[in-house]
Amino acid sequence: MQIHPQLLKDCHHLGHLSACELLLNRNAALPWFILVPDTELNDVLDLPQEHRDAVVAECAAVSEFIKQVLGYPKSNFAGLGNQVPQMHLHVIGRREGDACWPQPVWGNLSGGGEYPAEQLQEWTQELAQMAGLVPAP
């Protein structure tokens, strides 16, 4: 499956789940994960029910990681696709006082630096255990 070049430019490719590729936005101000379902369709609601259920379950697993491992009390979930036509779903850790609280992240998230390689490796290993992530080469 090809991932849209803009997504690859903006994100780290962490690996593959059963129904989606898992990306992490490079801006380390907030844990902003992007799931790219393995489909040519543009909208999650157009997926056949079984595939949609698998995609939503993987989004829920990433949300659980954000809450249980990273300690964020809230996760925002969205599928917009206005800038990048390839279907992709956002799961973003939020907490009061975060980098753009209470505003949405789009257009309000300033530079938060990059993730250290060690943190990317640690999160990838934890997601492998928790959600069955197969790390990207």
Per-residue pLDDT tens over the stretch 40-94: 999 999 999 999 999 999 999 999 999 999 999 999 999 987 889 999 999 999 9
Q: What is the reported pLDDT for 27?
A: 95
User: Residue 37 burial by CB count (10 A; 0-12/13-18/19+): exposed, middle or buried?
Assistant: buried
Per-domain residue ranges of the chain:
5-135
53 Rama sector, left if φ>0, alpha if ψ -120 to 50, beta otherwise: alpha
Measured in residues, the chain has a length of 137
Is pLDDT of 1 > 90?
A: no
* Residues facing residue 12 across a β-bridge: 24
**Cis geometry, peptide bond prior to residue 102 (ω within 30 degrees of 0):** yes
Cα separation, 64 vs 68, in Å, equals 6
Is pLDDT of 104 > 90?
A: yes
pTM here is: 0.96
Cα separation, 116 vs 106, in Å, equals 23
Superfamily holding 5-135: HIT-like (3.30.428.10)
Cα separation, 40 vs 131, in Å, equals 24
Average pLDDT, the chain: 95
Q: What is the DSSP letter of 29?
A: T
Q: What is the reported pLDDT for 117?
A: 96
Q: What is the DSSP letter of 79?
A: -
